[in-house]
A and B are shown apart, each in its own frame.
Chain A
């Protein structure tokens, strides 16, 4: 008789979604509770599939999450599993280690929380079924510079052994180093299945054993784009492992490049936006789509796009509204969006070109500009909420100058677009 369980990780319950689409209160009502809905969906899957267990490989909440409401919601979902006879095995991740709410929470009897010392818990099974041991270890501190693998107990002979570990593996971009360890070590550990957590992107390794990093069940911003899921695992008596990915994301972040090449009117732009979004919507399986669009191509509308960012966004939102459950995160001007001016013969025939040339070749590298720009930056950074200051004040001069140059290039392009507005330009 196969042992079946759902493997999830990095639920980050009540971690806020970060997208400007939420500026619309209506969108907020639809997707703001996405992490909660994703957890509820995981529980639904467990109940619908009559699995034996749910394994969560760490990070139930954000590290700075302190609300007891969140903990109580989690407890409520655990009770649903208890009523359905599903066991739950939890380890703490780096975020949970810092979290205070787990300590305050009383779980129902079906929940096993692994402590700071390695444990191998035997799962109650029907007579004659292959015994199953679940090994887990919750590291008590938010930082774990060393591998935790040596601390695990040895696999039990003749039984199915499942290891649950929170690890950054060999390291991943955007994730803190936490209990690093090598895939090869896990593969050779003698376990049947490694249920991992920490890295928010799904990864599967099937060698001598199955090693699965399921990713988080709900992306929270554009950097966590793409579908998000949990893994439904079945290990039969012959210890053969079958994996099935189940979609859990309620709202899916996705990017699209919109080619405006040759567009001549606003109507053309609107049409391109709609076409691009429709294709994207087609490819996204989650209920809601939060899209970030990047414009490119050579078009007479390039200047307009820079000048009239508000109307551009409005056009994009209008295009999104024509599709089901589709919202706009942001519309970006891509680096290859440009005007269809012919290849300049005399580089400075048009004084505006000459001005652009002066800006890029002389002004931006001038000390006068650098001084004025630094003053402007420091003026406004002092006014920003503390949470945002780091993003605008990189701390070292070269990074700051790079930020200034990037902003100034974009700003100058915008300004020149506004100055050289063509009086004959047509709406429509």
Chain B
């Protein structure tokens, strides 16, 4: 099949684009170069072709412009039975239409593809840069494995090795020998864990049975153990009882003996034993009481008789309380009176001191010195006013003096000003001065000197740069002007010359190469001919002709002579001729080959002749072009005539341009410098003119000096004006100050009048001279103190008078009382009222005390008499009770009765103890009567019993421990059975375990499929390799060598540990592993394999169109050209379409294969 025309009607970015490849041209290579710039849609066109053949994918990405509904690709295809038109649209069914728009089977074209599916066709018969890249990687991934590389190239499968590697890795992930973290190991451990979990929670039937049996056995053991333990305890208790009873037996015997010894008395009430003792004690106590009381009564009677009362003292005691208030006041006043008198004395002293401070006589009436309040205010005001006036007066006087001094200084300064020169008048002229200042300011602001320095530097730099570039123009010598004056040839002319020369040189190189190749061919041919000549000897055409000619000559000679010699000669010639003829017959093949070789030789020689002609043409063309260039250069300058290479000349012209470019800024900079100099001179001239006008002789003629002079003049004028202004200002100031002083002095005089008037209104006016304001203020400050002291003195005097009156009142009252009761001792000092009062109080108190003591004695006496009577009655009762007891026992005294009572008590106690002991013994021994018990004990062996008891104690401990153990065991078993439960947890764990087992089985099956599948594929690849290697390897080797322009001699297979590997062989016949080849070489190797695969396919079938998309991008020109030759070669077997965006590849293709057809593609 081939494509005659591809219609990209509506597909991707294409609308109505057509690629017309035309019908096949028998005998000519069917090679098509499709030129389309980047983005022109080369890949899209390729996909459109595949879609036409196999249908569009349901979600094709090429619908972005026209939409699914309108997408359409068409083609005119040359099929086995002729050319037909087809159209493919995007539909689920009936997507392929014939020329009339009628549907044909969707896979009609796929069938015409010779059994190749879309993927297989795309992989095998289309090639792009990505496929080359993948192929290069495959070379590394497969480590050059021959089978894999050949197959991957034949099937166009770039990632064969990595796909196989992935499959192996997937298998290894499940399990691999000595692998640790495999999935199988993980699943197995999960399995084990699930079983462990289930075993932990499950109770299996056998265990349940065991638990039940154990429980029953445990229950029986428990009952037996508790019974044993009971028996032991009972026996132990018995022995303990007998031993205890044995301990009691001696005590019982002792009690019984005591009882026999005790006498017997009549029974008496139990209380008597205590009562008899009490009666003895009470009697003694009553008798003692009677004695003590009688004694006391006698004593009291005597003391009452000795008492005598003081009647006057008692009356005094009744009246004294009325004086209590007066007494209290007297005591208080007597305490404070001396202090008040002291205070009064202090006041008098204070007053005297104040008068002294007021400088008044000590005896003067101090009250007369006090001033009325209004006058005091007047004085205070005047004093304050005077202070203000004094301050103002001081300030005004000082300021006036300062102003006068300043005026004097200003006049002195004015006088000191140096006299200005003749220019003074001009300096005073404001307008002139302003002009001068403006001119100077302008000159300074312009900064001429700084600018000029910078511009000079710029000029120097630019000049240096120009010189540098001019030097680069050697051998030419000259200045920039001369350079600018040159007439340079046109760029286009030079470019043309350059291109033509390069082409001519390239053509010559190519011719040389070709000639060399042809010569090598000629040498080879000649060598082959020489070899053949050795074999055929003289049997070639010339030899035959010579032999025949010699035979004919010999025959002719023999006919003439007919002698033996001639006959021999003829025979020899005839034999030689026969031998030659025979040789010709036997060496027919070699001879034929020799003829062909000679033809070939002739052809090569002829071609060499032609080539030599073309070489000399090329040389003369190069020469002419150089000459033309030299002429152009010489026209510029004779020194340049040697520049005969257009490139060199163009280069020189470029340098010239750069020199000219450097000249322009120099000119501009020089111009700037000149302008600035002119401006500076102008400014200097203006300044000098102004100074000349004023006749000033400056500090110099330079602009700087002129500016300095102008500045000086302006400074002097400014200073003079400032001095005059200062004198005027100070004069005004002194006038103002003088007026102020006069005003203040007037105010001071007014104050003095007011002061005299105020003094005259009081005693201050009596003073001569009049007091100053300070003195007056001191006096005024003392007057309030004086006033206060006077008031205090008066108050104290009044209080002392009242106190003395109170004292007198008390003394009078006491004396009166004493006299009334005759208690006044005339010898006593009349004024000691207090001592008298205290004596009266003492006497009244003594009288009261004597009266109270008599009363107490009388009370006590009555009490004693009453108690004596009570004791008499008690004595009678005690005697009656004692008589009843003594008569009962028929004894005399209570002491005897007590002895009888004690004996009866002792007998009772002994009986009770005997009863208690007997009771205990009965309990301990368990006997029915005490007699039985006595007998039992009499027969008991204490030692034996103690030994038995010790043994039993140990046995009981052991039995108890056993019972506890059995109890715990029973609880455990009961709980274990109760805990089983009916839940599904164990079953669920088992289900999970089964699921993991299923999972393992499934994955193990998957693993085996992978491993066996990979193993089968690898074996199949070996078999495939064996059947295809010879043809593929040979062709690939040739293609690789040709494509690499002989850099590689070819490819070969090398046996290795892991099977045969493909190796490249370099020009020196050294092998190199493919994974060590450079990237570019690997691309070429893969391309060579693909080309070989194409030819291998073509050997048995007609291949479908082969489509390549810019696969030569990474190839250099020579290799690209060689590869195009290989494509042209392929195009002899099938349609080959090469898409590219490089125009030079089109040119190259046109050159290498003039029959190739060029097509343009644009979106």
Chain A: residues with CB nearer than 8 A to chain B? 14, 16-20, 22-23, 28, 32-33, 36, 66-73, 75-76, 99-101, 103-104, 264-265, 268, 309, 330, 339-347, 349-356, 358-359, 362-364, 366, 368-369, 372-373, 376-377, 379-380, 383-385, 387-388, 391-392, 404, 407-408, 410-416, 418-426, 428
Name 26 interchain pairs, CB-CB below 8 A, sorted by A.
A16-B990, A20-B1002, A32-B988, A36-B987, A68-B202, A68-B204, A68-B205, A68-B207, A69-B202, A69-B981, A100-B209, A341-B117, A342-B107, A343-B111, A349-B1101, A368-B1019, A369-B1016, A384-B184, A384-B1004, A388-B1000, A392-B1001, A411-B1010, A412-B1013, A415-B1013, A419-B157, A419-B163
Closest to B988 in A: A32
* Interface members, chain B 113-127 (any A CB < 8 Å): 113-120, 122-124
Find residues 952-984 in chain B having any chain A CB closer than 8 Å to their own CB: 980-984
Q: Which of A379, A407, A408, A424 contacts B119 (CB 8 A)?
A: A424
**Cα–Cα, bound, A363→B1014 (Å):** 12
A426 to B1097, CA, bound (A): 29
**CA of A20 to CA of B992, assembled, Å:** 10
| B58 is an interface residue with CB less than 8 A from chain A | yes
Which of A385, A407, A415 makes the CB contact (< 8 A) with B1017? A415
- Are B1016 and A68 within 8 A (Cβ)? no
- List 12 extra interface pairs beyond A69-B985, A388-B1000, CB under 8 A: A69-B982, A71-B205, A342-B111, A346-B1100, A351-B155, A362-B1023, A380-B1007, A408-B1013, A411-B1008, A412-B1013, A419-B160, A426-B58
Q: Is the CB of B120 within 8 A of A352?
A: yes
Out of A264, A353, A380, which one reaches B1004, CB within 8 Å?
A380
Q: Which 9 A-B pairs have the closest CB atoms?
A: A411-B1013, A422-B119, A411-B1009, A14-B987, A72-B982, A415-B1013, A408-B1012, A16-B991, A100-B205
Is B205 a contact of A66 with CB atoms below 8 Å?
yes
Which chain B residue shows the least CB distance to A36? B984
Q: Are B118 and A422 in contact (CB under 8 A)?
A: yes
**Residue contact A339 to B117, C-beta cutoff 8 Å:** yes
A69-B981, A72-B982, A413-B1013 as given contacts; A351 in contact with B58, CB under 8 Å: no
Let me know if B796 is at the binding interface, CB within 8 A.
no
CB pair A424–B203 under 8 Å, yes or no, is: no
A353 and B999 in contact, given A69-B982, A414-B1010, A415-B1017 (Cβ under 8 angstroms):
no
Q: Which of B553-594 contact A (CB under 8 A)?
A: none
A340 to B105, CA, bound (A): 14
Q: Which of A392, A407, A413, A421 has the largest number of chain B CB atoms within 10 A?
A: A407
CB of A81, distance to nearest CB on chain B (Å)? 15
The total of interchain contacts (Cβ-Cβ below 8 angstroms) comes to: 269
A14 to B58, CA, bound (A): 50
Asked whether B790 is an interface residue with its Cβ less than 8 Å from the other chain, the reply is: no
Contact residues in A for B111 (Cβ distance below 8 Å) = 342-343, 345
- By a beta-carbon cutoff of 8 Å, the part of chain B in contact with chain A is 50, 57-59, 107, 110-111, 113-120, 122-124, 151, 154-155, 157, 159-160, 163-164, 166-167, 175, 177, 184, 188, 191, 202-209, 212, 980-988, 990-995, 997-1002, 1004-1017, 1019-1021, 1023-1024, 1097, 1100-1101
Q: Is the interface of A mostly helix, strand, loop or mixed?
A: helix
Contact A22 B1008 (CB under 8 A): no
Q: How far is the CB of A219 from chain B (nearest CB, A)?
A: 14
CB distance A369 to B1019 under 8 Å?
yes
Q: Which of A22, A309, A373, A380 contacts B1015 (CB 8 A)?
A: A373
Contact of B188 among A20, A385, A408 (CB under 8 A): A385
Are the C-beta atoms of A19 and B998 separated by less than 8 Å? yes
Pair B119/A420 contact, Cβ less than 8 Å? yes
B163 CB contacts on chain A under 8 angstroms: 418-419, 421
Structural contact, B206 and A66, CB atoms closer than 8 A: yes
Task: Please indicate the chain B residues that have their CB under 8 angstroms from the CB of A359 in the complex.
Answer: 1016-1017, 1019-1020
What's the Cα separation between A73 and B1016 when bound, in Å?
Answer: 53
Contact present for B984 and A391 (CB under 8 Å)? no
Which single member of A69, A339, A342 contacts B115 (CB below 8 Å)? A342
Q: How far is the CA of A99 from the CA of B208 in the complex (A)?
A: 13
Q: A420 contacts B120, CB within 8 Å?
A: yes
Bound CA–CA A264/B987 (angstroms): 45
Tell me the smallest distance from the CB of B870 to a CB of chain A, in Å.
100
Across the interface, name the chain B residue whose C-beta is closest to A24. Answer: B995
Q: How distant is A408 from chain B, measured CB to nearest CB, in Å?
A: 4
Interface of B is mostly: helix
B980 to chain A: which residues have CB within 8 Å? 68-69, 72
Across-interface contacts of A19 in B (CB, < 8 A): 995, 998
Residues of B within 8 A of A28 (CB): 988, 991-992, 995
**CB-defined contacts of B982 to chain A, threshold 8 Å:** 69, 72-73, 75-76
Rounded to whole angstroms, the CA-CA distance of A1 and B986 in the bound complex is 44
Contact assessment for B58 and A265 in the assembled complex, using a CB-CB cutoff below 8 Å: yes
When C-beta atoms are compared, the residue in chain A nearest to B207 turns out to be: A68
**Alpha-carbon separation in the docked complex, A349 to B59 (Å):** 29
In the complex, which residues of chain A have a beta carbon less than 8 angstroms from the beta carbon of B184?
383-384
Is A101 touching B205 in the complex (CB atoms < 8 A)? yes
- Contact residues in A for B993 (Cβ distance below 8 Å): 16
Q: Which residues from chain A contact B166 at a C-beta distance below 8 Å? A: 418
Partner of B203, one of A16, A68, A346, A392: A68
Bound-state Cα–Cα, A247 to B822, Å: 148
Residues from chain B with Cβ under 8 Å of A383 in the complex: 175, 184
B1005 & A407 in contact (Cβ 8 Å cutoff): yes
* Residues of A close to B987: CB separation below 8 A: 14, 16, 32-33, 36, 67, 69-70
**With a CB–CB cut-off of 8 A, which chain B residues contact A70?**
986-987
Complex Cα–Cα for A32 and B994 (A): 11
Nearest B residue to A357 via CB reads: B1020
How far does the Cβ of A325 sit from chain B's closest Cβ, in whole Å? Answer: 18
Residue of B184, B987, B1011, B1101 with highest tally of chain A CB at under 10 A:
B987
Write the nearest CB–CB distance from B164 to chain A, whole angstroms: 7
User: In the complex the two chains form, is B1101's CB within 8 Å of A346's CB?
Assistant: yes
User: Known: A376-B1012, A428-B59. Is A392-B1004 also a contact (CB below 8 A)?
Assistant: yes
Residues of B within 8 A of A69 (CB): 202-203, 980-987
Q: Which chain A residues lie closer than 8 Å to B212 at the CB level?
A: 104
In the bound complex, residues from chain A placing their C-beta under 8 Å from that of B1097 are: 349
Quick one: closest B residue to A14, CB to CB? B987
The smallest beta-carbon distance between A330 and chain B, in angstroms, is 8
A8 nearest CB across to chain B (Å): 19
Tell me the smallest distance from the CB of A91 to a CB of chain B, in Å.
19
CB pair B991–A22 under 8 Å, yes or no, is yes
Give every chain B residue within 8 A of A350 (Cβ-Cβ). 115-117, 120, 124, 155
Question: Using Cβ atoms and an 8 Å threshold, which residues of chain B touch A380?
Answer: 175, 1004, 1007-1008
Known: A20-B999, A407-B1009. A67 touches B1016 (CB 8 A): no
Question: Could you say which residues of chain B place their CB within 8 Å of the CB of A351?
Answer: 124, 151, 154-155, 1024
Please give the distance in Å from B433's CB to the nearest CB on chain A: 97
**Contact A385–B191 (Cβ < 8 Å):** yes
Residue among A20, A101, A352, A363 making CB contact with B1019, cutoff 8 Å:
A363
Q: Which of B111, B203, B1009 has the most CB of A within 10 A?
A: B1009
A103 touches B58 (CB 8 A): no
Contacts of B204 in A (CB 8 A): 66-68, 100
A368 closest partner in B (C-beta): B1019
Given A66-B204, A385-B191, A388-B1000: A411 and B1011 interface contact (C-beta under 8 Å): yes
Output the least CB separation between A319 and chain B (Å).
19
CB-based nearest B residue for A330: B1002
How far, in whole Å, are A343 and B113 apart by their CA atoms in the complex?
Answer: 11
Q: Are A104 and B115 in contact (CB under 8 A)?
A: no
In this complex, the member of A71, A358, A392, A421 whose beta carbon has the largest number of chain B beta carbons within 10 angstroms is: A358
**Which B residues are in CB contact (< 8 Å) with A20?**
995, 998-999, 1002
Rounded to whole angstroms, the CA-CA distance of A239 and B3 in the bound complex is 87
Q: Is the pair A73, B984 in contact by a Cβ cutoff of 8 Å?
A: yes
Closest chain-B Cβ to A194's Cβ sits at a distance in Å of: 31
CB distance from B208 to the nearest CB of A (A): 5
Knowing A342-B115, A420-B119, A424-B118 are in contact, say whether A376-B1021 is a contact too (CB < 8 A): no
- B1068 → A minimal CB distance (Å): 34
